[in-house]
Structure 1
Amino acid sequence: MSHDTDPTPVVDSPNGEAGVFPPGQPSGTATDQDAAQASGSAGGESRIQELESALEEMREKWMRAEAEMQNLRTRTKREIEDARQYATQKFARDVVEAAENLKRALASLPHVTEGEDRLIAQMREGIESTERSFIGILERHGITAADPAGTPFDANHHQAMAEQHSDEHPHGTVIQAWTPAWTLHGRLLKPAMVVVSKGSPSPDKAGS
């Protein structure tokens, strides 16, 4: 009885003679296949790294563009808000002048006395009521007044109209405010007109 066996592949050897591969070993060398696989793997990893680098660069550019856009939105919003709040500065200064004129009108009236003329009393009450109403309207629109009397002189908010020696106030203190400091939404609208202390007079001048 004959036994069937797997045929062993026959190949030509480099010298032209027939040869056979041992069973289980494919044609070609293992070294060549390993080198090809290693080359393909290295090329794939290199390509992945390139794509990851490109993706990271795009992500950084997008983040910078987003930050710049956010800054632009914030700046534009602030500029629009400033334009809305401060576009009426000139008008507000004129209104402040009217408020100060009311104050001067009150100051020009005689001091209150028990037997004062009824007409003068009614005039004073009318002007005081008008001034309170006027100031309330200004405050609702962000225009406020501050009396700096007793505070240190601040050249950014005060305008010195006179200097005066004082035993009660340190040098550089506002003794009296002829007009208050007016602001519009926190921004200076009109400086206060003030009298500033020069401190105590020297002994020679005090005795003369």
Structure 2
Amino acid sequence: MFRQALSRSTRALYSSSRTVAQRPALRAPFSPAPSTSLQSALFPSTRWYSDQADSATKKEGEGPTAQVEAQDSSKDDSAPSTVEAELKKKLEAKEKEATEWKDKCLRSVADFRNLQDRTTREMKGARDFAIQKFAKDLVDTVDNIDRALIMGQEKMKAEEGKEENVDLKSFYEGVKMTETNMLSTLTKHGLERFDPEGEKFNPNEHEATFMTPQPDKEDNTVFFVQQKGFKLNGRVLRAAKVGVVKN
């Protein structure tokens, strides 16, 4: 009896569900669709879920993500500082290199200018003293002419009370004129003769051959010139040989 009643009720529910399924669904717009599941109608059930598993899953899922995000944020924070430090190092290296090259350039310019000045001085010295050897040989000739004039002057003084020697006077004047022209030519080329008689003794220009006391003259004074000196463009070519007063 119980089975028959159960089968009848099942059939009735089944037929009613079929009729409901065959009817057109009248739904309101944007309304949720009704549940047509027979199992849900016959055997309604309620499920209970625990939040612990979901929270654990969430925590497990959030853990690596949070770590990655933290690492990414730390990377983002450290990346600009690292790049900035590298750029600063490169900039400092370039500035140091530029300073070194600037120093080298300035040194090269200074060396080149010094070389130019030294070359100019050497060229000027070469021009000024190119005839130094020739001038030394010529000085002896000038000395001989000077000695000839001294001898002629002494000869003329010895014959002052006698009849005038015209030939000797003409010879003396000719030699004197030759010496004057020669000294003038030598002066044009920078060779000058100097007579230090009466001057203070200068070891750079004078050569003392002897020293003697002279009460009427000042000490360390040139009172006798044995050989006159010569200068070539301001440089002493030959020192004058002199006698010096030593009281």
TM-score interval, smaller chain: 0.7 to 0.9
Q: Which whole-Å deviations, capped at 9, do the CAs of 1:90-140 have from their partners, x for residues lacking one? A: 221121111121111111111495963222222222112111110011111
State the AA in 2 paired with 1:92: A
Confirm whether residue 158 of structure 1 aligns to residue 203 of structure 2. Answer: no
TM-score relative to the length of structure 2: 0.64
* Aligned-partner SS, 1:15: helix
Number of corresponding residues: 184
3-state SS in 1 of match to 2:214: coil
Larger radius of gyration: 2
Q: Residue type of the partner of 1:78?
A: R
Could you tell me which runs of 5 or more consecutive residues in structure 1 were left unpaired when the two chains were aligned: 1-12, 18-25, 200-208
- Residue 160 of structure 1: SS of its match in structure 2? strand
> 2: CA distance between counterparts of 1:101 and 1:166?
30
Counterparts of 1:42 and 1:198, CA distance in 2: 83
1:44 counterpart residue number? 87
Equivalent of 2:142, from 99, 123, 139?
99
Report deviation, 1:142. Answer: 0.9
Query: Is 1:130 matched with 2:178?
Result: yes
Q: By how many angstroms is 1:14 displaced?
A: 7.8
Asked whether 1:53 is paired with 2:101, we answer: no
Larger strand percent: 1
TM-score, length basis structure 1:
0.75
Residue 15 of structure 1: aligned partner: 60
- After TM superposition, the structure 1 stretch with the greater mean CA deviation from structure 2, 112-121 or 154-163, is 112-121
- Equivalent of residue 120 in structure 2, options 58, 63, 77: 77
Higher helix share: 2
Aligned residue type for 1:93: K
Root-mean-square deviation (CA), in Å?
Answer: 3.2
Moved more, 133-142 or 37-46: 37-46
Amino acid at match of 1:173: T
Measured in 1, the distance between the counterparts of 2:203 and 2:239 equals: 9
Residue 182 of structure 1 pairs with residue 227 of structure 2? no
Give the fraction of aligned pairs with identical amino acids, expressed as a percent: 30
Shift of the 67–132 alpha-carbon distance from structure 1 to 2, 3 Å rule, reads same
Moved more, 64-73 or 48-57: 64-73
